[in-house]
Structure 1
Amino acid sequence: MAYHAPVAQITYILDQIVDFPQLAATDRFAEATPETVTAILTEAGKLATDVIAPVNRAGDLHPARLENGALRSSPGFAEAFRALAEGGWIGLAADPEHGGMGLPQALNMAVNEMTASACLALQLNPLLTQGQIEALEHHGSDALKSLYLPKLNSGEWSGTMNLTEPGAGSDVGALTTKAQRADDGTYRITGQKIFITWGDSDLSANVCHLVLARLPDGAAGTRGISLFMVPKFIPDDAGNPGQPNDLRVVSLEHKLGIHGSPTCVMSFEGAKGWIVGAEHKGMAAMFTMMNCARLGVGVQGVAQAEAALQQATAYAAERVQMGPIIRHPDVRRMLATSRAEIFAARAICLACAVAIDMSRATAEADWAARAAFLTPIAKAHGTDVGTRVADTAVQVHGGMGYIEETGVAQYLRDVRITSIYEGTNGIQAMDLVGRKLADGGTAAMALLDEVLDGAKSAQASQPELAHDVWQAAETLREATQDLLDRDLPERFAGAVPYLAAFSRVLGAHYHLRAATRGGSVPLARVYVTRILPQYAGDLAAARAGLDDLEALDDAALLGQMAG
């Protein structure tokens, strides 16, 4: 079955669940009228369904490759990318001063979901470019903005993020890439980076690398890192790609999935670069890009879940085993819980995006805190749901799901990376219980107050569902207070189940809201009765502490029994 963009479902969540219409009441997003939003989502849906989705399988079967040092993209990618770029989709949320449309990030994420469902490997290219656009808007000099942003927004040039090194993955501060000041005010960058998504491209005229490196007087760790713009081709006086820079793609990784997305080992050999932001303050600029990308990756998880479930549902309706298997209770359970999971994860991601937009439109600290708190939840939960639903979609297909020709296995292989890159989901969980609870729990409690208030309001029309959601939120409040009283190692030991519990409670909140606003009551009941109860086990694990983990020595973990 071919993917079909779920425009109506996304529109409903924006309008009724995450309060997107409030954005149009702000000066910044006054143009985000219902008519504009409908037109954009409709056209993006057509693009994803008719233009991008048809190249997805080719990207899996015919991966990107290096030929004599030059990148060759998968068949059909160039044409699909050109349609995406020429439609203005890359710069949808970017500043109009440099060629963007200035529309809300929530709308951009809705569009990104549809394009990522259609072809995740291709969508990674504009996603990284959008992150680079945001980093330059916030931290770039006027000269860098005027040169790079118009070309990045138009898709004429593309952007990458270069953090990871062989010995410095999650520990970014351990990087060894060096920067040297040059007499002309630029810098010379030397070192190697790995896992660079779309580190080279034949889809655009120039590839612009944001590279973390350390100056000779940079302090150890992350405090001494600077960020540099290092283009593949050095722009000439007219701003066009000029001489090749001293950098190259060493090799492409052979991966489990996203075969159409080239994952590069990059070598910088005294390459010319320009500082982004202040010297030794590179992490602040890079985190601007990473935070945008983290929400985007959560959306990718939802996107792959949606595409996989569409195929599984179509197969279940057609496959006959003592009747269509879509009528079998266990198959129906798999499909129903998957649909409920997607609704909740999509709502969490779009609620995070709306909070980002409201923070920018109003400059209110509460919105910024809400956006910051929701970001690791959106990233981790969205990608966990993506993996679960894609795995379930294979199961619905039975033995045929394990056969590559059906295509459903590609979704499971492709989505698996999303819980790893842009900060593993374990790191997202530690960020949640560490930095995001560093305010004493203010942001967490504000969200839980909203859930409790929503449950009270729904008591009259949906008493049973409202009671269960209220009880879960109250229990989560108690567990949050418990974590606040613990030191960081104790919190970290239960961080992943805590994030899972918070996600389930938020998902139930949005389902309950839908049940009172014209949405599906049966779907809300599936979530609240079958998925929400798992929060209790999650919180038990979150509160278990560190002692039992520390009691197991390394030999026991290796499976070696004491004599």
Structure 2
Amino acid sequence: MSQYQAPIDDICFNLFNVWQLDQYWQQQTELKELIEADTAKAILQEAAKICEQQIAPFASVADQQGAQLKDGAVILPQHYYAAYQSLSEGGWTGLSGDAEFGGMGMPKALSMMVDEMLCSADIAFSLYPGLTAGACVALLQHADDETKALYLPKMYSGEWSGTMCLTEAHAGSDLGIMRTSARPLDDGSYAISGSKIFITAGEHNLTSNIIHLVLAKLPGAPAGSRGISLFLVPKYLPDADGEPGKRNAVSVGSIEHKMGINGSATCVLNFDDAKGYLIGEEHRGLACMFTMMNYERLSMGSQGLGAAERAYQNALSYAKERLQGRISEKDTNKAEPIIGHADVRRMLLNIKAMNEAGRTFATWVASLLDKAKYDNCALSAQRANLLTPITKAFMTDQGFDACVTAQQVFGGHGYIKEWGMEQLVRDVRIAQIYEGTNGIQAADFMLRKVAADQGAALIGLLNEINAEIASAPQAGSAQLAEYITELLQLTADIMAHDFRAQSANACDYLAAVSYVLYGYMWYKNLRALDSAEVSDSFKHAKHSTAAYYFARVLPKAKGLFAVLSEDTAGIDTLSPAHF
């Protein structure tokens, strides 16, 4: 059976030693009376208990039972109800929600660590509070005061949940060609008609109401994505007291039978003149929805890391106990634990090195979002925007690779359901696909985040990192500085390429930048160890894993540099008929 224990020590090391966020919180008027290190640790420990005791042990049960459609209603695995109730009662569903509307008002850096735990426990379950949190972010930024006052308190409390309704069967990621329509009504509301697919948490009975955020087009709207508007469509229309009243004309057509995350109700939703309310301005819906999508893309990083952490813990435990083979050339009939085998240690260290760098990276991006919010810092906002595609794409790619590698540690036992490894592989696979495939993320990174300003934002960040490394060198600093210098030159070269060549290089370029930035994460870990009050064992493990990263993982960037230096013309050599 797959087990899970929240990595509280490493989470706290990242929050309070690497990024020293407890000191930052105490400098902020909005935060200093709300959160400090001891409070944060207590929050993390309580969240860990729910994840370890109420969710993680039953993830395989949720996978087997799945979400089931019966007579138009979706029934979820039974233990989800008690677990969700515990989350709601503890305030976890509104952890980073705005305090004005009943949220706890905690910083994103803290809530992202809780997100990781939930994803380790059960990705499918995590999607219910996760989609709601994203919907709340969109409403907080774009809805009018009356709408926020009506909906946000109940969504933060967990009484109501939220969804994001974008995709249509014929359109996929090309939202500009969607067909869902919105017809103005005399009372100022709109009649929404159309069908949406792949709607996560689209129908269920965990909550008393579901608030759908739906993209649709008004009559006479401009063509393409410029003609999309955003509408709030509740499952039940609130009555005069703000409680669920009449059932709206939105129904579930079916639920998808998927490769993984079976406990998540992935629905086809049909809107038949359902009553909806405009959020934001007409024809500005996509910009409003991207507020939620960017939030969810960060959550995808948590899915990749969460699954990878659980996979690592179980592979490590198995490797310490499984007796098989000899670890030396000495002729003996005594089998030894497989963790002694060089290849098994290689696999485990690859996962450990990427997981711990990924946790530091996730904390960094979340802290940038906090500084953008609380300090109104434009530079932090710019850098969070720059790093969001990496958080989504690289962290989910690495999460899937980690789960496959951990499965390999188990050998044949990893392929059967009993040990839980094949479920992790199936569950985490979707994170590379939804919220914009990783190919789309790479294109976004290359074309919109880097090429749009001729690399200025990224180059500025890399130069700043180089200056920091030079001022306080650690083990691996000289190697990292060399890689940054080469990446800077490569970036300048790529900026001289045309759109087609940049597009062809996008995935490899994102990965190359990511490996270098993960090197910086290990630099930050080593630097923090100098003053951290942690055990000698913790320090030894960090130093050894960092050394492994610089010796055996970071050099992968060199190979990518070589690929990126080559001509991309081969991409277009074959016509479609010759493939």
Task: Tell me by how many angstroms 1:543 deviates.
Answer: 3.7
Matched, 1:15 2:37: no
1:430-457 superposed Cα distances (whole Å, 9 cap, x missing partner): 1111111212322201221233123324
1:366-405 aligned within 5 A:
366-405=379-418
Query: What's the secondary structure of 1:199's corresponding residue?
Result: coil
Match of 1:491 among 484, 496, 502: 502
- Residues 494 and 544 in structure 1, CA contact (< 8 A), matched pair in contact too: no
Which residue identity does 1:298 align to in structure 2? Answer: G
1:242-321 aligned within 5 A:
242-321=245-324
Matched, 1:541 2:563: yes
Match of 1:333 among 336, 346, 357: 346
Query: What's the secondary structure of 2:168's corresponding residue?
Result: coil
In 1, Cα distance between equivalents of 2:110 and 2:177: 37
- Is the alpha carbon distance of 1:522 and 1:450 closer, same or farther for their aligned partners in structure 2, counting shifts above 3 Å? farther
In 2, Cα distance between equivalents of 1:378 and 1:545: 28
1:208-258 superposed Cα distances (whole Å, 9 cap, x missing partner): 100000000211111110000001111111111111111110001000000
1:76-475 aligned within 5 A:
76-321=79-324, 322-437=335-450, 438-459=452-473, 461-462=474-475, 465-475=476-486
In 2, Cα distance between equivalents of 1:16 and 1:486: 41
Which residue identity does 1:439 align to in structure 2? Answer: D
Q: TM-score, normalised by structure 1?
A: 0.97
In 2, Cα distance between equivalents of 1:515 and 1:337: 18
Match of 2:487 in 1: 476
- Is the alpha carbon distance of 1:16 and 1:329 closer, same or farther for their aligned partners in structure 2, counting shifts above 3 Å? same
Matched, 1:504 2:515: yes
Which residue identity does 1:236 align to in structure 2? Answer: D
- The runs of at least 4 consecutive aligned structure 1 residues that moved more than 4 Å come to none
Q: TM-score, normalised by structure 2?
A: 0.94
In 2, Cα distance between equivalents of 1:544 and 1:134: 42
In 2, Cα distance between equivalents of 1:20 and 1:502: 25
In 2, Cα distance between equivalents of 1:327 and 1:494: 39
1:378-418 superposed Cα distances (whole Å, 9 cap, x missing partner): 11111011100000011000011111121111000000000
In 2, Cα distance between equivalents of 1:455 and 1:528: 15
Task: Tell me by how many angstroms 1:185 deviates.
Answer: 0.4
Task: Tell me by how many angstroms 1:545 deviates.
Answer: 4.4
In 2, Cα distance between equivalents of 1:242 and 1:386: 42
In 2, Cα distance between equivalents of 1:40 and 1:217: 50
Match of 1:57 in 2: 60
Which residue identity does 1:495 align to in structure 2? Answer: A
1:507-539 superposed Cα distances (whole Å, 9 cap, x missing partner): 111112212322411110111111100111222
Which residue identity does 1:470 align to in structure 2? Answer: A
Which residue identity does 1:15 align to in structure 2? Answer: F
- Residues 139 and 285 in structure 1, CA contact (< 8 A), matched pair in contact too: yes
- Residues 451 and 506 in structure 1, CA contact (< 8 A), matched pair in contact too: no
Match of 2:332 in 1: none
In 2, Cα distance between equivalents of 1:553 and 1:281: 38
Match of 1:69 in 2: 72
Which residue identity does 2:383 align to in structure 1? Answer: R
Which residue identity does 2:578 align to in structure 1? Answer: A
- Residues 23 and 358 in structure 1, CA contact (< 8 A), matched pair in contact too: no
- Residues 355 and 370 in structure 1, CA contact (< 8 A), matched pair in contact too: yes
Which residue identity does 1:424 align to in structure 2? Answer: T
Match of 1:48 in 2: 51
Query: What's the secondary structure of 1:93's corresponding residue?
Result: coil
Task: Tell me by how many angstroms 1:362 deviates.
Answer: 1.1
In 1, Cα distance between equivalents of 2:429 and 2:383: 27
Which residue identity does 2:576 align to in structure 1? Answer: D
Query: What's the secondary structure of 1:256's corresponding residue?
Result: coil
In 2, Cα distance between equivalents of 1:86 and 1:23: 25
Which residue identity does 2:456 align to in structure 1? Answer: T
- Is the alpha carbon distance of 1:18 and 1:544 closer, same or farther for their aligned partners in structure 2, counting shifts above 3 Å? farther
Query: What's the secondary structure of 1:530's corresponding residue?
Result: helix
- Residues 493 and 542 in structure 1, CA contact (< 8 A), matched pair in contact too: no
Which residue identity does 1:489 align to in structure 2? Answer: R
1:61-96 superposed Cα distances (whole Å, 9 cap, x missing partner): 111101100110012111111111111011111110
In 1, Cα distance between equivalents of 2:248 and 2:281: 23
Task: Tell me by how many angstroms 1:554 deviates.
Answer: 1.8
Q: Which runs of 5+ in 2 are unaligned?
A: 325-334, 530-538
Deviates more, 1:517-526 or 1:25-34: 25-34
Task: Tell me by how many angstroms 1:458 deviates.
Answer: 4.4
In 2, Cα distance between equivalents of 1:8 and 1:211: 40
Deviates more, 1:392-401 or 1:43-52: 43-52
Match of 2:532 in 1: none
Which residue identity does 1:371 align to in structure 2? Answer: A
Match of 2:31 among 6, 20, 29: 29
Query: What's the secondary structure of 1:388's corresponding residue?
Result: helix
Task: Tell me by how many angstroms 1:15 deviates.
Answer: 1.8
Matched, 1:521 2:550: no
- Residues 58 and 75 in structure 1, CA contact (< 8 A), matched pair in contact too: no
Which residue identity does 2:240 align to in structure 1? Answer: D
In 2, Cα distance between equivalents of 1:331 and 1:416: 23
- Residues 106 and 354 in structure 1, CA contact (< 8 A), matched pair in contact too: yes
- Residues 63 and 261 in structure 1, CA contact (< 8 A), matched pair in contact too: yes
Deviates more, 1:4-13 or 1:481-490: 481-490
1:174-194 superposed Cα distances (whole Å, 9 cap, x missing partner): 100000000000000000000
In 2, Cα distance between equivalents of 1:526 and 1:394: 21
Deviates more, 1:435-444 or 1:382-391: 435-444
Query: What's the secondary structure of 2:169's corresponding residue?
Result: coil
